[in-house]
Structures are given as C-alpha cells and as structure tokens.
Amino acid sequence: MKFLALIIIVLIISCIFYSFRPFINRGDVSIANDKEAKPKAEDYAQQREMMVEQQIVARGIKSKRVLDAMNSVPRHMFVPVGYRRGSYFDQPLPIGSGQTISQPYIVALMTEMLDVNSDDVVLEIGTGSGYQAAVLSTIVKKLYTIEIIEELGMQAAQLLKSLEYDNVEVKISDGGLGLPEKAPFDAIIVTAAAPEIPDPLIKQLKPGGRMVIPVDNNSYSQDLLIVEKDKNGNIETKSTIPVRFVPLVKGEKKIE
C-alpha cells in the first residue's frame, strides 16, 4: 500500500515538473541561439493570431496599423529560447540581465496611444529585447531606440538587423538624456518606469508631438501617462492605466 502511494506521488511530481518545463529558465537567455526550439512558422503564426484576437482586439485595441504590426512581428524570436513556448501568452517574460519583454497587450496599447504614422520619426527609451522597436518600426518612418545595458542593446540590434527591420537604429546610452543629435521627435515612448518625466525628453518632443511613459505614483504600480506638447510648446499630461515596468536607471555617464 505504502509502495503504491509512493509511486502515485512520484507520478504526480513528474507530471507537475513536466508541465512547468517550458517555463524553467535553464540559464540560457540567448535570443539568437535557436537550436533548441526550432520555430515552426505555422504554429507561431497561429498562436500570434490567437494572441491578437484574445488579448488585444478583445481588450479594445482598434487601430488597424497596430493590429497588423502585432500580427506580423515574430514575438517568439525576441524571447529567450528557454521561454519560447510561452512567447504568445498573456504575460511579460524575462529576457536576461534582470529585464523583461512587456506583455503583448501593453505593447499594443502603448503603440496605439502613441498614434504614429508612416511619416514619423520616433524615439524609444528601453530597447530590451527589441520587440516593441520591431512593432513600431513597421508603422513609422524611422525609429531610434536607446538601451543602457550594452549586452541587451547589442543583441537586439543584431536580431533586428537579421529580421530586416532596417529603419531601426539602436544606441547604447542613458535614454533619460534622450538623443539630442536626432531631435526633435514626432513621438517618444519610454518602456521603463521613470520617477518623473525626464526634462530632456520633453525638450526633444516636437510641438504637436506626444510621449507615452510610465511614471512612479508612490504605490506598487506606475501611471501610464500620455504627454502632449501643443503647437505653442505647452505640455498637457493625461493619466491612463496603472502598469508595472522595470525602473529607468540613471547612467553614471553617457556611454558611446
């Protein structure tokens, strides 16, 4: 009897372990190395379609440009191999160096809020995996994206290049300082949480432009803000929903 109980317990533990296997980080956060989980394009395309219907359209995102972008960018390529099977799930995922790729809905929502088009030159702060950059690059004319962690930035730059998102330029530096040499921008998106809206970013926004940025609100979450600069340079800020992003860190000095 005891023996039978033992076998049942071992079986249950094995089943639990097996179901969680895809989510166990095996320490391999390499995005480029694709040997372990060769993508089956059709499977991922189907998962992507479901992601768009169930997580994005169902929550009220309507912009055709945004939906087309979310349907076309292969999110699984921006996720480390060990997490790839969960890349279209309704959640953020780790990408290494303590950072995360945002939940698909949040990427779509921030892209819709940014309200950009094919004439726009846009700045992103917080390249991370490069996924948000890829989504935006399908809509805008030119995207500059800044990452402070060199390893992540280099990896994203390489991946974006290999996937032929040719209108994206990745810079390794402190995004809180913006990118004065390419300013002003039609839109700025910040994908890390700032204690307040950085002044250089407000300065580098074109009159008539807008910024989407999560800002700390003294609680567990942050407020996702839409910041608009009118034709006269006046700033108007609207708070939308609570979000959770990794913090925008301050660089010691500008890295070139």
The residues carrying an active-site annotation are 102
Query: Does residue 56 interact with ligand SAH by CB under 6 A?
Result: no
Residue 77 DSSP symbol: G
Among 110, 121, 140, 192, binds ligand SAH (CB under 6 A): 192
Distance separating alpha carbons of residues 228 and 205, to the nearest angstrom: 9
What Cα–Cα distance (Å) separates residue 128 from each residue in 132, 146, 152? 9, 9, 6
Mapping DSSP to helix (H, G, I), strand (E, B) and coil, where does residue 40 land? coil
147 binds ligand SAH, rule: CB under 6 A: yes
> CB–CB of 119/50 below 8 Å?
no
Using CB atoms within 10 Å of the CB of residue 185, give its burial: 0 to 12 exposed, 13 to 18 middle, 19+ buried.
buried
CB-wise, 194 or 227, nearer to ligand SAH?
194
Q: Which of 66, 125, 139, 201 binds ligand SAH (CB under 6 A)?
A: 125
Of the candidate residues 82, 104, 126, 178, the single one contacting ligand SAH (CB under 6 A): 126
Query: Applying CB under 6 A, does 174 fall inside the site for ligand SAH?
Result: yes
- How far lies 6's CA from each of 11, 14, 230, in Å? 9, 12, 70
**Beta strands 205-216; 222-229: pairing state:** antiparallel
CA 166 to chain centre: 18
In the complex, what is the shortest distance from the CB of residue 8 to ligand SAH, in angstroms, rounded to a whole number?
Answer: 42
Task: Verify binding: residue 131, ligand SAH, rule CB under 6 A.
Answer: yes
Of 14 and 25, nearer to ligand SAH (C-beta) is: 25
- Give whichever of 2 and 253 is closer to ligand SAH, judged by the CB atom: 253
Beta carbon of residue 175, minimum distance to ligand SAH (angstroms, whole number): 3
Please select the residue that binds ligand SAH; options are 96, 104, 176, 178, rule is CB under 6 A.
176
159 touching ligand SAH, by CB under 6 A: no
Alpha-carbon torsion 247, 99, 176, 189, what sign?
negative
Site residues for ligand SAH, window 17-46 (CB under 6 A)? none
Residues forming the site for ligand SAH (CB under 6 A): 99-102, 125-126, 128-129, 131-132, 146-149, 152, 174-176, 191-192, 246, 248-249, 251
